[in-house]
Structure 1
Amino acid sequence: MGTMLENMGEKQSGFHIDVGILDNDACALEMISLLLRQRDAAIRIGWSDTNAQYTLERMVFGPLSDAVTVKVIVLDLALNGISGIDVCRQIRLRDSRVGILGVSSYALDQYRQRLALAGAQGLFSKQEILSPDFVNAVHIAASGKSADVDHGFLSVEEAYARLHAVPKVAHAGISARELEILGMYARGLTTGEIGGRLNISCATVLSHVNHAAQKLGVRKRVEAIRICRQRHLIQG
């Protein structure tokens, strides 16, 4: 998948990487945790969540009392009630140090560009977690570098700077979820398909679109999409 790999060399005595994992599937969460620990003694699991809200409370809204400062977050993209891309963006807007790697059981092409724009350092299929490439990517992301330069993923600092460089006037107060939905419409998805992918109702999808249109001062979805394209807020 064009992953930029580095020879990590011999591990220093006492060297370790604390990793946080977010996956709404408890079995997958345990599998990822087990595989990472088995494949590299330097990797420690700092925390694991099945609920995105817990992760956001750790990383965005204020650390939980038992929070461990992690160097890398392994983030499933198919979550309940919120997309992993939205979680990534919220974390990156707040944090300029932690590396973020997305994982998915679905086709990666539908996520790759949006995840890169949201501030992650790489994207892997869940099957690739079994490979040495993924463990190597954890080390690369922990060092703050991009684990997949070929697909447009930036380093931690570059990704943080890019998100903060977008003028606030360009956003017009539009939320990350509203932009995500407009972007999906721009790529030709239907309301039902968008709701299915994001695990939300069609009514909620349309509500997000209406709110975005109001913020942009337009009445039609196509006009909102056109403006967001012009401002380079969405792709498609």
Structure 2
Amino acid sequence: MDSLDNGADGFQPLRLAIVDNDPLTVKLLAQAVPRWVPGVQVMWYTQSGGDAARKCTNPELAPDILMLDMSLNDGESGLDVCRLIRSDTDKVPVLGITSFSLTYYAAKLAAAGAQGLATKSDSSMMSLAISRLRRGGTFSPVSGVQFETTEEAHRRIISEPASTRPKLSAQEARILDLLSQGRKYAQIAEEFGVTESSIRTQSHRAVKKLNANTLSQAIAIWVTGTWQ
């Protein structure tokens, strides 16, 4: 576990944790965010969504706010990690972070139980989002998308019938994400370190799981969050 100590004098620091798939980016964020937001102390940072989910349900390690990258390693999806955390606890506000389109992720992240979304490189947006979440509120950078509080999101997710929840594995979800961005099977296979045939098989499995007739329809269902 990597950790930093950057407490501010005179008041209780905000305990922050960061999850990002890139080792350099996560370290840079851990150094930069306390400069952007006075009073922030980074408790820990990790590249693993599973590691973050376990820590968030441990009272001794749970941060006041978790910054969660949308694209993680080994086929992990930030959306799945967020939903897992929110189904387990009504604590730990989750702020999604991404270098990609906010519009693409906002509605799906809200459905997964997060409290906000911000661009990694935008220090002003990040500061405002953290400030809102720190006070128990939410932050949406996309018009028409509303995020819930931790308590509201937790109640909704644990009360949802299993059939309304996304049915894809983390890797299947990541494949659809990449296909929706125009990536080819061969490019995705190279990124995952598997054969192109394996990627095709997983994408076709995703089509069936989403009750779609075609791959294009499955991608549309996944991108718009209309799997319910």
Q: Taking structure 1 as the reference length, what is the TM-score of the superposition?
A: 0.70
Alignment deviations for residues 136-172 of structure 1 (CA, whole Å, 9 cap, x no partner):
321322333211284222221122222223212445x
Q: Is the 8 A contact 1:86 1:118 kept in 2?
A: yes
SS of the residue corresponding to residue 233 of structure 1 reads: coil
Alignment deviations for residues 55-97 of structure 1 (CA, whole Å, 9 cap, x no partner):
133236xx49xx5220101111121121212211111111211
Residue 148 of structure 2 corresponds to: 154
Residue 75 of structure 1 corresponds to: 68
- Counterpart amino acid of residue 75 in structure 1: L
The Cα RMSD (Å) is: 3.9
How far apart are residue 52 of structure 1 and its match? Answer: 2.5
- Identical-residue share of aligned pairs (%): 21
Distance 1:181 1:29, change over 3 A: closer
Alignment deviations for residues 183-228 of structure 1 (CA, whole Å, 9 cap, x no partner):
75996967739947x9575555555556567778x79657x95xx8
SS of the residue corresponding to residue 66 of structure 2 reads: strand
Q: Is the 8 A contact 1:178 1:209 kept in 2?
A: no
SS of the residue corresponding to residue 38 of structure 1 reads: helix
Residue 170 of structure 2 corresponds to: 177
Q: Taking structure 2 as the reference length, what is the TM-score of the superposition?
A: 0.72
SS of the residue corresponding to residue 90 of structure 2 reads: coil
- Counterpart amino acid of residue 148 in structure 1: S
User: How many residues end up aligned between the 2 structures?
Assistant: 214
How far apart are residue 14 of structure 1 and its match? Answer: 2.4
Q: Is the 8 A contact 2:93 2:115 kept in 1?
A: yes
Distance 1:208 1:232, change over 3 A: same
In structure 2, how many angstroms separate the alpha carbons of the residues matched to 1:78 and 1:185?
10
SS of the residue corresponding to residue 37 of structure 1 reads: helix
- Are residue 103 (structure 1) and residue 100 (structure 2) matched? no
In structure 1, how many angstroms separate the alpha carbons of the residues matched to 2:114 and 2:151?
11
In structure 2, how many angstroms separate the alpha carbons of the residues matched to 1:78 and 1:199?
13
In structure 2, how many angstroms separate the alpha carbons of the residues matched to 1:92 and 1:15?
25
Residue 137 of structure 1 corresponds to: 129
Distance 1:161 1:193, change over 3 A: farther
In structure 2, how many angstroms separate the alpha carbons of the residues matched to 1:184 and 1:52?
17
Q: Is the 8 A contact 2:89 2:154 kept in 1?
A: yes
Distance 1:30 1:178, change over 3 A: closer
Alignment deviations for residues 110-153 of structure 1 (CA, whole Å, 9 cap, x no partner):
2121111111111111121x22x422321322333211284222
- Counterpart amino acid of residue 137 in structure 1: A
How far apart are residue 175 of structure 1 and its match? Answer: 4.5
SS of the residue corresponding to residue 85 of structure 2 reads: helix
- Are residue 85 (structure 1) and residue 116 (structure 2) matched? no
Higher relative contact order structure (alpha carbons within 8 Å, sequence separation ≥ 6): 1
